[in-house]
Amino acid sequence: MRLRSSLSSDIKQYLIITGNYWVFTLTDGALRMLVILHFHQLGYSPLQLALLFLFYEIFGVITNLFGGWLGTVIGLNRTMQLGLSLQIIALSMLLVPNQWLTVGWVMAAQAVSGIAKDLNKMSAKSSIKLLVPRGAESALYRWVALLTGSKNTLKGTGFFLGGSLLNLFGFQGAVLFMLGLLTIACLTSLMTLSNKLGPPNSKPTFKQLVSKRSAINYLSAARLFLFASRDVWFVVALPVYLSTTLGWDFWQVGGLLASWLIGYGGIQALTPRLTGRGLSSTPDGLTACYWAVTLAGIPALMAAALYFNLHTRYALFIGLALFGLCFAINSSIHSYLVVRYADKSQVAMDVGFYYMANAGGRLLGTVLSGYLYQYYGLASCLSLSAIFIVFAAILSTALPRHDCNKPSTLLPD
Domain architecture of the chain: domains with CATH: 2-396 (1.20.1250.20)
SS3 236: coil
Q: Does 215 have pLDDT greater than 70?
A: yes
Predicted confidence band at 211 (pLDDT cuts at 50, 70, 90)? low
Kindly report, residue by residue over 399-408, the tens digit of the pLDDT.
998 753 443 3
CB 262 within 8 A of CB 369: no
Report which of residues 234 and 126 the model is more confident about: 234
pLDDT recorded at residue 137: 73
Averaged pLDDT, 35-41: 77
pLDDT recorded at residue 299: 97
CB 153 within 8 A of CB 261: yes
Q: Does 12 have pLDDT greater than 90?
A: no
Percent share of the chain, pLDDT over 70: 86
C-alpha angle 260/50/24, rounded to 5°?
55
Kindly report, residue by residue over 59-110, the tens digit of the pLDDT.
888 887 787 777 777 777 888 889 899 999 999 999 988 888 888 888 899 8
DSSP code per residue over 319-341: HHHHHHHHHHHHHHHHHHHHHHH
Nearest CA to 35 out of 116, 111, 106 is that of: 106
pLDDT recorded at residue 408: 39
Predicted confidence band at 210 (pLDDT cuts at 50, 70, 90)? low
Q: What is the pTM of this model?
A: 0.78
